[in-house]
Every structure is written in structure tokens, then in C-alpha cells.
Structure 1
Amino acid sequence: MTWHAIFLCCCCMLHMLLLVTGSNSYPKNINIWPMPESVELGNKTVVISKDFNLKIDGTSKYKDKSGILKDGFTRLLDVVTSNNVIEYNFGKVDQSLILQGIHVVISSEDDRLQYGVDESYKLNINPKGNPNYAYIEAVTVYGALRALQTFSQLCHFNLNSRKLIVSQTPLTITDRPRFTYRGLLIDTARHYQPLPMIKKVIDSMAYAKLNVLHWHIVDEQSFPLEIPSFPKLWNGAYSRHERYTVAAAAEIVSYAQRRGINVLAELDVPGHARSWGVGYPALWPSKTCQEPLDVSNDFTFKLIDGVLSDFSKIFKYKFVHLGGDEVDTSCWVLTPRIRNWMKQKGLNESTAYEYFVLKAQKIALSHGYEVINWEETFNHFGNKLDKKTVVHNWLGGGVAEQVVKAGLRCIVSNQDKWYLDHLDNDWEMVYMNEPLVNITIPEQQKLVIGGEVCAWGERIDGSDIEQTIWPRAAAAAERLWTAPDKLAKNASDATSRISNFRCLLNQRGIAAAPLSVPGRAAPLEPGSCYFQ
């Protein structure tokens, strides 16, 4: 046996002792991920009743007509009871220590999910007065869903009693997110992701309180989405079996919305669009020079208008992502027709790129969207961008600082830390990446609306997407949710909690990779989940 194995074995035994030697034996550092704003603990343990139920308090304005809260409660019961067989013969247990259900009070009757929706909540378990119920207070149903996720992490199976328990009660948690935008990008253009896999990703995002699924649907390799206005576009899909109908896309949006997650659709133009021309060759500069999209052709912008019109019927989020990155304009110069058009317009390669991006922005704005663009657009002509533009940083550090100084909003995804397809970006690097680095003026800090981890799909398909995302995305989730003074000062201080969360994901059927390996590798050797 190696020294490493001996160490893991000893740590494993210690951890198991802490977890299973009694109903009050859980560590005082409570295992919640991401860490809430405020936690107050007691010293009692309550037992979850077999008839654990949901009650919407009579004072609540929200009546759950759409069933979002009920569905969230059903999912809570599923995840907390699925990993063990629970015994409910309580015998002479003190009745005040049996938790019968959750009372929920929501002050807003509006259940529309949009940018900036209030996700704050207060969770009280085993309080004085009525100790048999947990209480959730929230402004919106989405705050209540976040509270249910926290509650699910507080429930433990006790091996001595064979019951589901919550320790350290009375317990009061007050919580709210630090950033409004907490995203994860998936890429279905480089590899098609089946609908059930996208839904599993959405479920796992909800566990970590991420709230935006950035769906990079199409790219130069494939165009898998049905566009009714231009039905030949999905001729650019890899195959007939690797396509998303309008109904399927709407199902993804609805599925995410009921979990408090917005879907941000991306239409990356003018580069990354070669697949568009499979169905509509007129979009290519020429048959031999196939991207970026033809800037000189009115049909290009007519088609973009049609796509965004169809998008607006499916994707209800405030924003649409129009890409704008990595645009190689050499095909425009090499094609005589386009070169002559540019000359007539008084444009060169750089200003033609600007022309395209700004015209696409105007089209998106006409459909009621605000626009997100990759940072190259800001780097080349930031002062020309629409003032509602959100600049998406990815190339490196220092860009967010310049964006907010210019008065524009920013999303941080710098690739050296928050690109999950970079397998050498370990969870500690992800955790310590601070979106507000060198941004100290409060008015400018508010312009950083959040951040996003990106799982680009060149080497990700249905077989490995989950372990590429998790647990590293959880590190970013805490950075984006938790108040700065509650974040671990060093990533190593969060190791125990994120290890616990990783094992929790495994228990819930999410293939989260070990912490101790780079990216998505297998465990190095036998050992406890909690120490891998």
C-alpha cells in the first residue's frame, strides 16, 4: 500500500466517523454549497416525517397556479430519499423533533423568470412556536426554489436510526446571490447533446444555484436547430438524428425555467457560421471561401432577422448572444464581389466587421433583445457598440476593468480560469478567479453582472459532459453566489465542502469527477468519494 493510499484510508475513516457515529455528530462547519450569506445553528436534531409535506401559507400572495413550487418540492423529496431506504417507525420520539413539512410564504405572485429576478430567501428549521415545520420566506418562487436546494443539502441519512434527519437545529439561514448572472455554457455544435443529457445538466446547475444556461447552439461545424423561417438551415446538422426541433428547444427552455434557470441562446456571427451555407450557399462569400457570412449580401441580414424572429418565440430571456469572436475577414478580401462592395462603401476589413456586428445588433434590438457580444467587438470598436451591449470577456484579464470604465456591462469567463474544456484549469484555479479584480469603484462593480464557466464541445459529448463540468463549475458557482466575506480565503479551506458537494452530485446521479485529478480523469486509486 502506498503512503498516499494509507493517508487517504486514515482520512476516510476519520470522515466516516464524523458522518455516521450519531445524530449530533456532524461537523460544526455545516456542509452547504454554495455558502449562504448567514447561518445560525442550534444543537438539536430533527427527524423527517414520512408524510413530509408542502404548505403554501395563507398569507402568501403566490398560489403556485403553475405548479413550479410543487414540482420543486417533489424534486426535493426525490433527491433526499433516493440514496437510502428510510425507516419511519418513530416509536417514542419527541414529537417536537419530528419535522412534518415546509411552510412557504412568497410575497410576489409573479412567476415570470427574467434577468434580475429576486432569488433571496430565509430558511428556518425547527423554530420556536411551531417546531414541526420548516419555514421559507422569499420574494419570488425562484428564491423559494433556492431555499429548497439548501434544505436538500441539510438532510442526512443517519445510519444508526435509519432515518432522514436535519442536525444543528434550530437553524436559520438568510441568503441571496452576489451576482445576478451565474452561467454555464454548453456547446451543441461541436458535438450534439441529446435532450435528456441537456436536462441532466440543467438539474445539476440548479443543485449549485447557477441560473443561466448559455446554449451555444450552432457553429461552423453544425447547425442542429430547426428555424421555421429558413427551414434549410438545419441541413447543416451532422445528421437527421442530431437535430433539435422548435418543440424540443421550447421544452429545454420550459424545463430550465421551472428550475429557475434562464436559457441564453447564441447565434455566433459573422464568423463560426460555415454550416449555415449548407442549406443556403448564398451566405458563403464563395464555394471555396465559406466564412465569415457574406457582409455584402442583403440576404445575410434578412436571414439573421428571420432567425432572431424565430428565436424570440422560443427564447424569452432578456438577452441574446450574437458572438462576434474570432472573425477572419480574409474571405471578404479574396472574393472580388465583396472586395468591390467594400470599396464602394468605403470599408476595409476592420470597418466591414464593425458594420456587420452593429447591423446584427440593430436587428436583435428590433426583436426586443439586449445583446451580448464576445470581447473582440469591444476590443475593436467598443465606443460604437450599442450602449445596452454586454461584453463577454474570455481572452484574458484586464478586459472587464476596461469594459466597465467605458460604461458597458460585462460577463467574466476568462479562459485561463473559467474554460472547463481546459482540463488543466483545476477547481482551485476556478474558485480563486475573482470577477471584480482591480474594479474598486462601486458604480463600476455593478456593471459586472456576473460570470460564466464554459464547456466548449470540441472534445465533449454525452459521454463526458458531466464530469467535464463538475465539480469545477461548483467552484465558480460559489464565487458567483456567495458574499465576498463568506468566501474561503484560500481554495484549500473549501476542500471539505466541495468534496462533500461532489459526492452529493454522484449520489444524485451526476457523474462529477474526482477533485484530485485534472479535468475529467478517473479516480487514481481505491478510496472514499470524500477524499478523491
Structure 2
Amino acid sequence: MIFCRFLAVASLTATLASAATIWPLPQSVSYGSSSVETPQFQFIGLSSDDSKNAVKRYNPLIFPHSVEQTVDALDILVTIDDEDAELQLGTDESYTLSVPESPSSNSPITITAKTQYGFMRALETLSQLVDFDFDAEAYSIEGVPVEISDSPRFPHRGVLVDSSRHFEPISTLKIVVDSLAYAKLNVLHWHLVDSQSFPFDSKSYPLLGKQGAYSQFERYSPNDVAELVEYARQRGVRVMVEIDTPGHAGSWCEGYPEICPSKTCTEPLNPSTNATFDLIEGLFKDLTGGQAKSGLFPETLMHLGGDEVNTDCWTKSDDISSWMDQQGFDEDDTYAYFIARVQAIAHSMGREVIGWEEIWNHFGTSLDPSTIIHQWLPGSTVGPEVTAAGYRLIWSTDGVWYLDGLSTTWQTMYEAEPTEGISPSSLHLVLGGEGCMWGETVDTSSILQTIWPRAAAISERLWSDKNSTQNVDVAEPRYAEFRCHLNSRGIAAAPYDNLIARNAPTGPGGCLDQRRRE
């Protein structure tokens, strides 16, 4: 990293300094007391475009300053078992990285990985080991020999971005994807549409976007979506779409009012007409291609929301009330009918379904056993109950991992534990978690400094060993430096210990000195 060391770290030896600043903390790391200089790296053994392109992206990040080459570039021998691996939940991201005390052609730096995505994680770690000495005008790795063996604690590690409350251009979403990869987060949960706007251009139902978007300019074409999803894949980031139903869907009614209870009471969507489910099926086909691992979102997980369903609009509609009576349904029965029918549509297209925790609170084990429950309600302790019943869990509790909560500190986020109360026999059902960047008060002007650096606290909790990451005071120097690491790459991470998350610095000061800004 290219910034001066935080004072708490500066008192350590140079050997400790480099290895001690890796974020998120590797599962296993050891280091020595020597250093090695290099003006560049020469990667040997790469064959796929994904891996070669990753090197092209990282070279200027690792070596941002031009220097006169006075020593030879160090060889890095790379071994990847499958350089063309598919990116899905559970794709292997493990790697090892070894830097000998005196690297040479006979004893090179080595990286081993099961997939190209593990190799990408190794590159990020390597980038954090390289320092630039401005006085010597040279790059070096301190603390060699370095031995790292690393893999994520959880397979699902993400950030939710909401593009309905405020439109986020594709260019902004690409920068968010870059930043996720820097922290070894691997999911962009795209909350694509909501009550406020419908910014996606559906080929099957074009009036959704034409009438439901904020403006003709604040929309995503299918090509836009495909471009972002591929951009993310090349960085080891899965893009998981959320289409929230039956609530949070009022914007749908702008183009297709027949699927809503009335013009003045628009949601939940109308369960009494097949037109609603025909539209949902057509929209899902636009997004998924109608079959597994295909379409604009080849990701096998699909989030269907299901939260905050107020059934008043159903009971106020004479047509819907009459239909409910004919079916023998009360409001909860109708809610369950809607959830089950929409899940069946997603399942028919090869998707596994995620829903917010209200569907568990209402329907429990009557849900399809493959349903993944996304915990979010403030103070929720639903995780042990969900996993004890054999259902999988994603953790994002409001007040703890909600990034729009500007007064929630990084320390609170860091100390959170997704497996609390869950029995050892059920731990495998915890897929991981997400920081949620809801969009009511963020747009392009503020999204990055609201996500960062606090999402880094989440990334370490989801990547690193639980027992090695218990102390926020020990983590603080690395956290502070990681914020500067993000800034050096153009990621607008706010001062690291703000009391109000995205506040700007209040006065002069170095990156690592920007602390406790009101």
C-alpha cells in the first residue's frame, strides 16, 4: 500500500507492517524479517482471458508510480486448476500466496488457486503487500518470506444497491463493483425496482419502464444490464437481481394498471387476475432467459422480496374481496398464494428463491424447503429458528448492517455475528450476509462514501476467521489503512471513524488522521 503507516502500526517493525495491513484478514498468514524489491511482476502460467485481464487491471493498481527499472521483475508462477470456472454460489475462491525470502527464476513467488476467482482474490492480497518508497523511488515487499493460505468463511458476501429510490447509472454501479472486489465481497444484490420507479426496460412489457421510470433517461436497457453483469463476473462478483412482490410494486401500475387493486391503492399487486402472473412470468423470462444459468442474470439465486405486505388494498377492492371469498382465502392465505405462485415461476426458470424474513414469520415451514430467508428486521433473532428447520439464511439485520443507517458505526458492524445462537450442526445453512445500501438518501453523489469504508467491516466478518477478528481495537489500524487504500484507487470512502458515516473531513489532515468527525 502506498500511504504512510498509521501510528499504531508504525511502531511495529517494517516486517510486521506489510503483512499486518491485509484486509480482510487472511485465514493464515506468516512472515519473516527481510524485504525484496521489484519494479514489476511477470506472471507465468496463465491461459484464460479472465486471469490475464485481472493481471492487466491490477498492474497499474499495484504499481501506480513510474520508476526506472534497476532490478529485474519478479516472476510469479501461477497454478489454477480451472481457469474457466463458472461463477455461482459456492464457487471456490481459495488461494495460497508464497513470497520467498530471495525470489528467483528457480524459486519464484507462487500463487495457487482452484479457480480464476481465487486468483483474483490473491491479486488483491498481493496488491496490499507491495509498498512504494518515495525516497528510494522503488517498490518492495516487506516481511518476506510471506506465506498465506486463504479462503472465505462464507460463500455469500454482498452489498445491496437500490436503484429505484434513486437511479444509479451503470457507470456508478461499475465503480461499486470494483470496490466490492477490492474488499473480497462477491455479490451485488441489485434491488432493481420498487414502488417509486421501475427503471428496467422489459422487452415483454415495455410500458413498465416507459411509464414507471422517473424519466426517459433514468432507465436500464437489457444491454446495459448484460454489460454490468459481465463486468462484475470478470471481477468475481455475482449480480443477484431482486424483483420485490407483491408489495413494493406500485410503479408497475403506471404502465399496466390492470395488475393493481386500483389507481389509488396500487399495492400489493392484484392476486385475483392471471394478468398479474402472466406479466411476472414475462418479466422473469426477460431477466433469466427462461432457463437455468442463462439470460441477463445467469446467477442461480433470485430475490423475490415478499416484505412489508399491507393487505388493505386487497380488502378495499370489491373484485379482489369477492375473489378471496370464492377461494376461501383470508388476507394471509392470499399472501401465501401469491408468494407460492411467484416462487413457482422462478423455480420453473431454474432459480433458487430468496425472500425477506416476513415470509418466514407468516408461513414458516409451509414455505418451499429450498427457500432462502433473508434476515433483516431490527433486533431479529430469527436465524436460529430458520436454520433449525433446515432453511438457509442470509444475514443483514437493520440497525447493524444497514448502510443507510448513518449513525451505525463500523465497530457495531464489525462486532456483529451472523451465526449467533445457531447450533453447530446448522452453521452450514448460514450462507453469509449483506450490507444493505437502501437508496432513499443516496444517489451517484453520495453512494460510495455511504457504503465505504463501513462495508469493509462487513467484508472482514464474512471472509475472515471469527476467532481472529474479535477485537475492534486490533482491527482499527488495518481498517483505517484500508480506507486509504480505497481512496488511492479513486473509491470515495468517507473518513474511517466518522460518527455520521458519510460526512466529509472538517479540516486539514492526512488520510489516516481523519478521525471522529461529527
Q: TM-score by structure 1 length?
A: 0.91
**Partner amino acid for 1:208?**
A
Match of 1:100 among 74, 77, 82: 74
Q: How does 1:83-482 map to 2 (within 5 A)?
A: 85-90=65-70, 99-126=73-100, 130=104, 133-234=108-209, 235-312=211-288, 313-395=295-377, 396-441=379-424, 443-482=425-464
Tell me if structure 2 keeps the 8 A contact 1:387–1:408: yes
Q: 2:32: which partner in 1?
A: 42
Between the aligned partners of 2:477 and 2:326, the Cα distance in structure 1 is 64
Between the aligned partners of 1:424 and 1:345, the Cα distance in structure 2 is 47
Cα deviation code 1:56-75 (max 9, x no counterpart)? 16xxxxx31xx111111111
SS in 1 for 2:181: helix
**Partner amino acid for 2:142?**
S
Q: Which stretches in structure 2 are left out of the alignment for 5+ residues? A: 289-294
Tell me if structure 1 keeps the 8 A contact 2:74–2:103: no
Tell me if structure 2 keeps the 8 A contact 1:86–1:164: no
Between the aligned partners of 1:88 and 1:522, the Cα distance in structure 2 is 37
SS in 2 for 1:332: helix
Between the aligned partners of 1:25 and 1:212, the Cα distance in structure 2 is 34
Compute the displacement of 1:109 (Å).
Answer: 4.4
CA 1:164/1:86 → structure 2, altered by over 3 Å: closer, same or farther?
farther
SS in 2 for 1:119: coil
Cα deviation code 1:387-446 (max 9, x no counterpart)? 1100000003311111101110000000010000001111000000100011132x3111
SS in 1 for 2:38: strand
Q: How many residues align?
A: 501
Q: 1:73: which partner in 2?
A: 55
SS in 2 for 1:435: coil
SS in 2 for 1:157: strand
Cα deviation code 1:365-402 (max 9, x no counterpart)? 00000100000000000111111100000003311111
SS in 2 for 1:452: strand
Tell me if structure 2 keeps the 8 A contact 1:53–1:100: yes
Q: 2:292: which partner in 1?
A: none
Compute the displacement of 1:14 (Å).
Answer: 4.4
Tell me if structure 2 keeps the 8 A contact 1:46–1:126: no
Tell me if structure 2 keeps the 8 A contact 1:403–1:410: yes
Tell me if structure 1 keeps the 8 A contact 2:352–2:371: yes
SS in 1 for 2:76: strand
CA 1:135/1:445 → structure 2, altered by over 3 Å: closer, same or farther?
same
SS in 2 for 1:411: strand
Tell me if structure 2 keeps the 8 A contact 1:373–1:391: yes
SS in 2 for 1:46: strand
Between the aligned partners of 1:13 and 1:292, the Cα distance in structure 2 is 52
SS in 1 for 2:244: coil
Between the aligned partners of 2:59 and 2:485, the Cα distance in structure 1 is 15
**Partner amino acid for 1:206?**
A
Between the aligned partners of 1:211 and 1:303, the Cα distance in structure 2 is 31
| RMSD of aligned Cα (Å) | 1.9
Between the aligned partners of 1:13 and 1:424, the Cα distance in structure 2 is 24
SS in 2 for 1:351: helix
CA 1:372/1:194 → structure 2, altered by over 3 Å: closer, same or farther?
same
Between the aligned partners of 2:346 and 2:69, the Cα distance in structure 1 is 60
Between the aligned partners of 1:13 and 1:365, the Cα distance in structure 2 is 50
**Partner amino acid for 1:524?**
T
1:504 aligns with 2:485: yes
**Partner amino acid for 1:125?**
V
Between the aligned partners of 2:477 and 2:380, the Cα distance in structure 1 is 29
**Partner amino acid for 2:268?**
P
**Partner amino acid for 1:304?**
I
CA 1:178/1:339 → structure 2, altered by over 3 Å: closer, same or farther?
same
Tell me if structure 2 keeps the 8 A contact 1:121–1:137: yes
SS in 2 for 1:103: strand
Percent identity (aligned): 45
**Partner amino acid for 2:66?**
I
Compute the displacement of 1:54 (Å).
Answer: 1.9
CA 1:337/1:365 → structure 2, altered by over 3 Å: closer, same or farther?
same
Between the aligned partners of 1:187 and 1:175, the Cα distance in structure 2 is 31
Between the aligned partners of 1:25 and 1:343, the Cα distance in structure 2 is 74
CA 1:28/1:282 → structure 2, altered by over 3 Å: closer, same or farther?
closer
Q: TM-score by structure 2 length?
A: 0.93
SS in 2 for 1:391: strand
Cα deviation code 1:172-192 (max 9, x no counterpart)? 100000000001000000000
